[in-house]
Structure 1
C-alpha cells in the first residue's frame, strides 16, 4: 500500500495534478503538493503549519540551494530514491540540511565520509562544523589525523584556518612524527607570514618536541631564529626533555598514539599472601615505553630482583630514569630495571645505609634524600647518583633530618615535604642544583606521616595530611596550599597519567 501511495503521488506530480505550490529557484519552477513536502521536511512542515507568509502563496522562492539539488530533493520526497555522486554530494547535503530531510542528510554524510581524500578532508571538517554534522566533522578529522603527513602537503592545507590546524596538532591521535608536525606548522605560517607569524608561539606549544629526533631538534629547531625569539620557554623545555627525558610534566611530554609509545602506571610492591592484600610498601610511578597497548586490567611486568629484601613495614623508594628505566633502593643497595631488556641490574652501593628514604630525579641524576640508619636515627644527608659514572656522591644535606617524607620535582627544583623527625613534621623545603642549601617553603596545612606527592599542571598534589589531598602552588613568597578533597588514604601510591592524578593502595 505504501509503495502504491508513493507511486500515485509521483504520478500526480508528473502530470501536474492537484499541485498547490510551485518552488522557484534561479528561474526553475518545480510544482509540488504542500502536504507531501510537509510530511517529509521539517522545514516545510514549519512553513505550512505555523501560519508563515509563504503558506498563503502559490509560488515560494528558494534562495538557499541550487536548482539541481532542489530537484533531487523533491524527487526523493516523491520516490524515496536519490543518486549521490562526487559532483552533487556536498550541494545535496547542504540542501538536505537546510530542508531537514534526514534520510538524504545521513546518506550524504555517509557517502562523503567514505570518499574523503587528502584534498577535501579539511573542507569537510569545516562543512561538518558549519552544518552541525558532528559525524561528518569527526570522520573528516579522523581522516586528516591519520593521513596528516600527506594532507599537510596539499594546497588546501595552506588555506586551512588556525582553529582547524589546532584541532589536528593538539590531538593525541595525530598519526605523524613530531618532525612532520613541526614542518607542517612552519609551512603553514610561512604561507602568510605577515598574518600568521603572531600565531607561532600558540602553535609551537602544541608540537611535542620531547619526542622529536634529538639531532633534528638541535639542527633544525634550535637554529631557527624566529622560534628562538618567540618561543624561548618552549625551546628551553624541549632542550631539557631531549637531554633529561621524563623530568618535566607538560602537555608536550605526553606521547601521541603514532609515536608507538604508551604511558603506563607501574605499581611496585608485593602481595601479603596470608591476608591477600597489597602490602603497604606498594609504590606507583608513570613511565613511557614502546610496549604494545594493553587493556585496562593490571598485568604482571616482572618480579623484584633476586636478593632484594625490601622493607616489610614502609614503602621502598622508586624513581624513573629517562622514560622507562626504574631505579629503586633499600638499605645501601640500588637496583635498575630496564624495560626494553626486561632485566634488573645492581648499581653501585650508596655511601650510607638508608631506610624509609626517598628518591628523586633531576637533570638525569638521582637524589637519595633523608631516611633513617640501622638504629632508626633520622638522617638529613643526601646522596646523588651519576649513572654515567655509576657512583654516589655526597649532596647538600637537609636543614633537618626526616624519613617517610614526600618528594616532588617541579620547575627544576626538588621539594621535600612532611614525614618524621622524632615526631611528625609539617615543614617543606626546596632545592635546585647549584644551591648551597635547601630553601624553606610554606609549611603544609598539617603534619603528615606517610605522605605521598605528585605533580600536575604546575602544582604539587600531596596526600596523607589530615586524610586529605592538598594542592601546593609555589610562589616567591613561599607558595599557597589549598584543600582539594577529603577522605583520602594514607601511605598510598600516587602518580599522574594523561592529565589525571591516580591513587593506589594505602590504608585508612
Structure 2
C-alpha cells in the first residue's frame, strides 16, 4: 500500500529564469552598499572592494588565488600590479553586471587584463572587436599582441590584415621592427597582396634599417621574393644591377632570367604565383584506363581531360576541358609536357602532336615527328624546345631523340640516348634533362632498368648518373624545390628523391606504398599522386606527399578511378 502511494506522488520542477539576473542585481546592490565584501583590490593607489566568491566564479586567476590556500585568500587587501585601475574597475564591473564597453582606446588594455586574469568571455569579445576593426595602422602591433598573449585567433586575423595591406604596412615604423621570422611569415605567403617589386623594396628597406645585423639575412629573405613575376625592366634596373644582391643571390637572379626567357620551365618556390597575380596552379589529368579486362584484353579507356584548382579536390571540383577527338587515349599514358606557363603539348604517337591552349580552350596541330610511329616515349621542354625521348616503333625500342622548334615548326634529330629506352620517366632540373628507368632492350625482349642519364643542350652525349634505388617501368617523375621525385620499384611502388651533386647525384627513398601506374605532378609546393591501379580498376584517390614532413596524406578524389593516365600542372588565369 505504501509503495503504491509513493509511486503516485506528484512532482513539479520549478525553474525561475530571471533568477540569474536577479542574483547579479542583488550582488551589485551588496557591492554598492559595501555589504559582505571581504577583499579589497589595491591597484596603483585605488581601492576596489569586492566579494571573493564573485571574483573566483568569474576569473580562473582569482579562483586559483582564493581557493588554493594562498596567503591572499586570508588577506583583507590584495595588491594588483598587472593592470591599471581603470581596466581593473571595468573587469570587476563585468563580474557583477556581465557587461563591459569596449572601445578602440581601451580594447588592447582590456584584452591584456582579461587574458591575464583569465576572464575568457571578455578576452574573446576583445579579440572579436579588435579583429573587426583592424587596419594598416595597427595590424602589426596586434599581431605582436596576439603572439605575446597566446591569442592565436587575434594573431591570425592581424596577420591576414597585414598580408592584405602589405603595401601600406611596409612603410610603417612597426614594419622595421619585425623579427626576421615574422617578416618571413608574411613574404612567404601565397596570400600576400602586393606586387613583387613592393616585396623586394620592403625587404631591402628592412635590411637597410639595421644593415650591420641584418645583411646576413639577405639570402634567406631573397629566396622568398618571387622574381619571375616581377616587371622585367624593374628587375634589370633595380635588382640585377644591385651588386650586394648579385653577390649573395646570383643563382636566384639566374633563375629569374631563365623564367623570364622561358616561362614555365623552372620549378621552385619562387615560380608559384601569389593569389593577387590572378594566376593559379591547376592540375590537369589526361586520358587513362578506368578498368582492365585481362580476359578479353580490352580495356575501358577514359578519353576526357579534366582540371582542378583545388588542393583538396572532390568529384565536384574538377572541370572538363575541351576534348580532342583525335587523341589516342589507348596509350598508357599519353606523353605530355607543359610548354610555357599554361600550354600543354601532347603526342599520342609520332604522327599526331598537338598543342592545347587552356586560355583559348583550343587545340592546334604541331608538325609530325620524324619517327611517325613513335610510342611509349616521353616529352620534356627545355629552353622553349620540346624533346621527344626514346620510345619504340612497334616492337623496336628507340635511342632516338627529336627536338621540336616552335619558331621553325619542325622536328630535328637530337643527341641519341646511350641505349634504347621506353616507358621511362623524364624530368627537367637545373637546365638539364634527366631520363630515368623504363625498359631496355635485351636479346630476348625487354627488361626493367634503374639507369639514369642526364643531358644539357650543347652536350655531345648523355651522361650517366646514379642509378635509382629500384628498377622500374611505366614510371613517372616530377621536380620540386631542386630535387627530382620518381615513383619506381615493384608494386606497391616507392617514391624516391634525387638531389644533384658534384658527382652523379644521390637518391633517397622517401615514401612507400604507392600504387602502380599512378599519375604524379607538383602542386602548392607538394607532390600530388593521383589514382593508380587497384586490382584491375583505377583508384580515384588523390594523395599528397609533403617534403617537409615526409608524410603521405589522402587529400581528395578525382572524378573517376584511373590508372596509366598523364598529369601536368599549369598556371591559368581565373
Q: TM-score range by the shorter chain?
A: over 0.9
Alpha carbons 1:406, 1:419 under 8 Å: kept: yes
What secondary structure sits across from 1:450 in the alignment? coil
Q: For 2:473, which of 441, 449, 464 is the aligned residue?
A: 449
What secondary structure sits across from 2:217 in the alignment? helix
Residues 377/394 of structure 1: CA separation in 2 closer, same or farther (3 Å cut): same
Partner residue in 1 for 2:277: 259
Does 1:492 find its partner at 2:501? no
**Deviation string for 1:297-317 (max 9, x for gaps)?**
22101111x5x3526243221
Distance 1:274 1:202 in 2: 50
Structure of higher RCO (CA pairs closer than 8 Å, 6+ residues apart) = 2
Distance 1:507 1:281 in 2: 17
Structure holding more strand per residue: 2
Distance 1:110 1:242 in 2: 44
Alpha carbons 2:287, 2:305 under 8 Å: kept: yes
Alpha carbons 2:390, 2:420 under 8 Å: kept: yes
Partner residue in 2 for 1:478: 504
Q: For 1:381, which of 400, 408, 412 is the aligned residue?
A: 400
Residues 368/282 of structure 1: CA separation in 2 closer, same or farther (3 Å cut): farther
Offset, 1:278? 6.3
Does 1:360 find its partner at 2:360? no
Aligned length: 501
Partner residue in 2 for 1:407: 426
Offset, 1:437? 1.0
Distance 1:7 1:134 in 2: 35
Partner residue in 2 for 1:350: 369
Distance 1:429 1:258 in 2: 39
Distance 1:158 1:255 in 2: 26
Offset, 1:346? 1.2
Residues 132/233 of structure 1: CA separation in 2 closer, same or farther (3 Å cut): same
Distance 2:470 2:189 in 1: 40
Partner residue in 2 for 1:226: 244
Alpha carbons 1:19, 1:33 under 8 Å: kept: yes
Alpha carbons 1:282, 1:505 under 8 Å: kept: no
**Deviation string for 1:440-460 (max 9, x for gaps)?**
122233332211111223332
What root-mean-square deviation, in Å, do the aligned CA atoms of Structure 1 and Structure 2 show? 2.6
**Deviation string for 1:353-383 (max 9, x for gaps)?**
211111011222211111112x431111111
Residues 273/405 of structure 1: CA separation in 2 closer, same or farther (3 Å cut): closer
Unpaired runs of at least 5, structure 1:
none
Offset, 1:14? 1.6
Distance 1:274 1:478 in 2: 39
Q: For 2:55, which of 31, 37, 40 is the aligned residue?
A: 37
Aligned residue runs from structure 1 range 74-473, under 5 A: 74-269=92-287, 279=301, 297-304=317-324, 306=325, 308-310=326-328, 312-329=330-347, 330-353=349-372, 354-373=374-393, 375-422=394-441, 423-424=446-447, 425-467=449-491, 468-473=493-498
- Mean alpha-carbon deviation: is it higher for 379-388 or for 443-452? 443-452
Distance 1:139 1:384 in 2: 51
Distance 1:120 1:225 in 2: 35
What secondary structure sits across from 2:30 in the alignment? helix
Distance 1:432 1:288 in 2: 33
Residues 194/402 of structure 1: CA separation in 2 closer, same or farther (3 Å cut): same
Give TM-score scaled by structure 1 length: 0.92
